[in-house]
Structure 1
């Protein structure tokens, strides 16, 4: 007779939980490695000193993530997500702080020069009797005009604005220092200088705002591209072609500016969840296949190399044969399997089925659903005077 059946199977909760935690640990470990590379890069560029507090906090959190990977993978994943969020703008802030520090250094130099000019002005007060009144008055006016330029520069709050207006202010300063000043036209000179300074500072603020917006867009674009590259690298290591294809579909939208970070995070979270589900299902199927192979060998079957047909969503095909010619075949899908015991005499096929199938639950924790018989071939009924049970069926897992 022949015997074909289908059964559903499932992994016990404890084993399924452990498979899930292993998957979370591997994925989180890969993303944590990317975060460590970024922190190391900041230190290599000597940018960490400009964001010492945030950098130290990120290092502490990274150490915690790596500790939790062994103790609590889910907590490690959550902490690593928080670390990734902390690090998204850390590079731009470090560069901004470095630029601010450099501008502060230039401001200090400028202040020192201004202090020297003030000291020179004070010395000139004691030397007025040795100089002509007109020369002293002209120099005083010149210093007042230079002070107007200095105050205009200090009125700019940000380092970018100061950098942008520096060439124009320097040119005006040199013009005042080198040219003679007609004291009769002092009011007009001061008025002209005031208007020129207003034009320069206004232009600097406008350009700084445009640069800041462009830099923010570029930084956001860079962050999103970096997030995509990290995801591609991780899933390439995991050989998850489905996840890679979905991520590559996001790239044109990110490059085209059609997606913000929140939407990208949502898409990637969904992709990661789907990948975890696929990996968990495949791990469970491997567990079922491994159990079948062991029990078939234990029952005396010679087994051909298992084959995957129809891709990951298809079925793993197992074919086994006894020296007597009796055959057993299994098709294990992601949540069910079908099997066939063929070329048996009488009810011998049921004996082999009982050697293999019950042990999947007892030894491997695989629960088999109700058997659905799809075909039978009752050989030798007349000889045994009994109706043989169905010889082909299926079970869900």
Structure 2
């Protein structure tokens, strides 16, 4: 008798949770190391002097990841690294802008101090400093600085009146405010792109060195990352669609890592179970054809009995027990099913018979009847 089944395999909930926790810890460790290196580079560049809040936040979050990993809170640690990944890419942009503003503001302050000393008591310079001192937005000051320096030189050269100073500075401030609004929008865009670029680099790091069963899976993820990088470099990201797609890609990579590990565990469990049932088991082999991707396991006994299992990458399992005499295959099938769950935490569900060949069973029954007749 021969019989072929199709079923769906899944790890016992507790075992799958353990596997997910293990993979979450591996991911959190990898990203923690990546982000810690970035933080150390930022500290070496002196960012802490210009953006202490951002550096302090990153340092605190990384300390929390380390604490969570030490306390076996892998899922929380993984989730926090995702949160860090959403903002760490923007820190370079923020720091560079802060440094540029500081340097220009410091240059302006030094120049103003120099002029104060030279023209102490000048009523026109007092008007100038009164108006300039009322500007409280450092970005506006940065944009206004060249024109303010020009007005300073006009005052020094005796080519300005109080009325002209007030009018000129008001005009300069108005233009600088408009320029600063545009700059802030562009800076926000740069931050968003930097964050998304950082998340894409994280996604690339996730597939680096991973043993996906399918080469096509790895290449597919790599191609999507490359395409998203091109979109990021050339496209408009005013809406959140690109960010959402990058987030989905990261989640799909994590899911694929889990799925592949579940399949490996299923293949190991089936291999060990067939050996325990006194089969000689061939090394598992993977087959990829159009629309399918499965691992085949073939096991034999000296008597000729054979088992063929095919484990696909979507949780489906086909298995066939053939070349058996009579109903004996049912006993092996029952033990195969029970022990997979009891010993290896691999549960089969939605089983259905795809094919059955009762010829040997019918032949055995005919022979038994003939034998009975002879004994009468």
Shorter-chain TM-score range: 0.7 to 0.9
Distance 1:231 1:335, change over 3 A: closer
Q: Shift of residue 364 of structure 1?
A: 0.9
Q: Shift of residue 319 of structure 1?
A: 1.2
Equivalent residues, number: 357
- Tell me which moved more, 90-99 or 49-58: 90-99
Separation in 2 of the partners of 1:277 and 1:176? Answer: 68
Separation in 1 of the partners of 2:241 and 2:169? Answer: 44
Separation in 1 of the partners of 2:257 and 2:129? Answer: 65
Q: Shift of residue 62 of structure 1?
A: 0.5
Q: Out of 260, 266, 269, which is 1:282 matched to?
A: 260
Q: Out of 236, 243, 246, which is 1:268 matched to?
A: 246
> 1:76 — aligned with what?
77
> 2:189 — aligned with what?
217
Separation in 2 of the partners of 1:317 and 1:39? Answer: 47
Q: Shift of residue 144 of structure 1?
A: 2.7
SS at match of 1:300: coil
Separation in 1 of the partners of 2:263 and 2:320? Answer: 18
Q: Which runs of 5+ in 1 are unaligned?
A: 122-142, 182-187, 387-397
Separation in 2 of the partners of 1:78 and 1:237? Answer: 22
1:342 and 2:326 correspond: no
1:384 and 2:368 correspond: yes
SS at match of 1:367: strand
Q: Shift of residue 219 of structure 1?
A: 2.8
Distance 1:258 1:285, change over 3 A: same
> 1:317 — aligned with what?
296
Separation in 2 of the partners of 1:217 and 1:237? Answer: 32
Separation in 2 of the partners of 1:100 and 1:275? Answer: 40
Separation in 2 of the partners of 1:331 and 1:85? Answer: 40
Separation in 1 of the partners of 2:57 and 2:169? Answer: 43
1:369 and 2:349 correspond: yes
Quick check: 2:311–2:318 contact (8 Å CA) kept in 1? yes
Q: Shift of residue 261 of structure 1?
A: 7.4
Quick check: 2:89–2:198 contact (8 Å CA) kept in 1? no
Separation in 2 of the partners of 1:49 and 1:81? Answer: 26
Q: Deviations over 1:168-210 (max 9, x none)?
A: 443443344346x7xxxxxx84444444444434333333333
> 2:2 — aligned with what?
2
Within 5 Å, which residues of 2 pair with 1:1-397? Answer: 1-70=1-70, 71-85=72-86, 87=88, 89-117=90-118, 119=120, 121=121, 143-178=122-157, 189-238=161-210, 241=218, 242-260=220-238, 262-310=240-288, 314-333=293-312, 334-369=314-349, 371-373=351-353, 374-379=355-360, 380-381=363-364, 382-385=366-369
Q: Shift of residue 20 of structure 1?
A: 1.4
Q: Radius of gyration: which is bigger?
A: 1
Separation in 1 of the partners of 2:105 and 2:236? Answer: 38
Q: Deviations over 1:345-386 (max 9, x none)?
A: 344434543553432122112223365332113323222349
Separation in 2 of the partners of 1:172 and 1:23? Answer: 63
Q: Provide TM-score, normalisation by structure 2.
A: 0.80
Q: Deviations over 1:27-86 (max 9, x none)?
A: 333333332233222112111222224322321221211221351112112322333445
Distance 1:168 1:365, change over 3 A: closer
Quick check: 1:321–1:328 contact (8 Å CA) kept in 2? yes
Q: Shift of residue 294 of structure 1?
A: 1.4
SS at match of 1:324: coil
Q: Which runs of 5+ in 2 are unaligned?
A: 371-376
Quick check: 1:99–1:159 contact (8 Å CA) kept in 2? no
Separation in 1 of the partners of 2:79 and 2:195? Answer: 20
SS at match of 1:368: strand
Separation in 2 of the partners of 1:88 and 1:197? Answer: 37
